[in-house]
Amino acid sequence: MAELLREIYPQTGRARILGITGPPGAGKSTLVSQLAGVYRAAGERVGIVAVDPSSPFSGGAILGDRIRMGDLYTDPGVFIRSMATRGALGGLSRATIDAVDVLDAAGFGVVLIETVGVGQDEVDIVKAADSIAVVVVPGLGDDVQALKAGILEIADLFVVNKSDREGADRTVAELSMSLDFTTPVSGWRPPIVKAVATKKEGIDLVRDGLDAHWKHLKATGEDHERRRKRAAARLRGLLELKFFEEVEADRSRPDGLEEAIDRVAERRIDPYAAADRLFRRFKQR
């Protein structure tokens, strides 16, 4: 896989990468289908990478969803890749970004990444996008708190989906008020858009919002800054992988990782001292 990615890497960097995130049940998959349809109608080839375990793209949901998205599944201009396995050591985010690269190099003009918007892993993944849409539903309740803690600050666009439900305007107002207390990153205040993805309502507004953000990125040079951050995150992940591969290779040696784990578990050494010792040993090799 690494070999392949090395070869295609010079061909990457052309796709527009859109992240769609939000809590389970917000209707992200339906929105992703609709957006894919809109960009498809505009002549783009569209890649979808679903990291959301509850997404029908990932095979997580009932068969009905898959059937409803039949058009996408049979369109050769749409490629769907679901990231099901969750490995250790950032394996999921590495594999996801690699998948985006493959689609990018293969000439897909738009790549949509769908993730559940809770947890560091998911946030890391969606940060790989050029633009991030956070999807919420009316009457979030406790979810608003969770959003505030991790997701609010990464949104370039808010979609209040299922906005035919009671409380949609209040959710818009609450989000807007939260934004009043946030300093906009490089002068961009995330628009808040209402949609009903199942009825194809508001999809154009979502696309318009994403397109406006794309123009803003280009106009301010923020697109380069984002791609630099993405490169940094990838390098970090790969360095971590290499480091632990070497630590693991030595794990059974005397004074190696195995022995250190036993001693820490038995309280014969504290984890800080044990880590110091292992690290010194690693560097001496």
**Residue for token digits 């969803």?**
65
As measured in angstroms, the least distance from the Cβ of 204 to its own copies is 26
- d(CA 246, CA 199) in angstroms, rounded, equals 53
Q: How are strands ordered across the β-sheet holding 78-82?
A: 78-82, 46-50, 110-116, 16-22, 131-136, 157-160, 192-194
Interface with its own copies includes 111 (CB under 8 A)?
no
Interface with its own copies includes 122 (CB under 8 A)?
yes
Taking CB under 8 A as the criterion, the residue among 106, 227, 250, 256 binding its own copies is 227
- d(CA 75, CA 73) in angstroms, rounded, equals 6
Q: Which stretch binds its own copies (CB under 8 A): 73-81, 157-165, 177-185, 260-268?
A: 260-268
Interface with its own copies includes 250 (CB under 8 A)?
no
Taking CB under 8 A as the criterion, the residue among 41, 76, 142, 166 binding its own copies is 142
Residue 2 tokens read as: 């690494």
Taking CB under 8 A as the criterion, the residue among 19, 22, 23, 190 binding its own copies is 23
Check: CB of residue 80 under 8 Å from CB of residue 97.
no
Interface with its own copies includes 235 (CB under 8 A)?
yes
* Nearer to its own copies among residue 169 and residue 276 (C-beta): 276
HEC assignment per residue over 54-116: CCHHHCCCCHHHHHHCHHHHHCCCEEEEECCCCCCCCHHHHHHHHHHHHHHHCCCCEEEEEEE
* Nearer to its own copies among residue 61 and residue 185 (C-beta): 61
Decide: residue 95, CB within 10 A, 0-12 exposed, 13-18 middle, 19+ buried.
Answer: buried
Interface with its own copies includes 149 (CB under 8 A)?
yes
As measured in angstroms, the least distance from the Cβ of 208 to its own copies is 27
Decide: residue 222, CB within 10 A, 0-12 exposed, 13-18 middle, 19+ buried.
Answer: middle
Taking CB under 8 A as the criterion, the residue among 60, 77, 109, 167 binding its own copies is 60
Residue 133 tokens read as: 């849409």
158 three-class SS: strand
Shortest CA distance to 149 belongs to which of 174, 185, 176, 123? 123
Taking CB under 8 A as the criterion, the residue among 71, 107, 148, 199 binding its own copies is 148
70-99 binders of its own copies (CB under 8 A): 86, 92
How long a stretch of residues is the chain?
285
Interface with its own copies includes 185 (CB under 8 A)?
no
Taking CB under 8 A as the criterion, the residue among 114, 143, 156, 174 binding its own copies is 143
Q: Which residues bind its own copies (CB under 8 A)?
A: 2, 5-6, 9-10, 12-13, 23-25, 53-54, 60-61, 86, 92, 116, 118-122, 141-143, 145-146, 148-150, 224, 227-228, 230-232, 234-236, 238-244, 247, 257, 260-262, 264-265, 267, 270-276, 278-279, 282-283
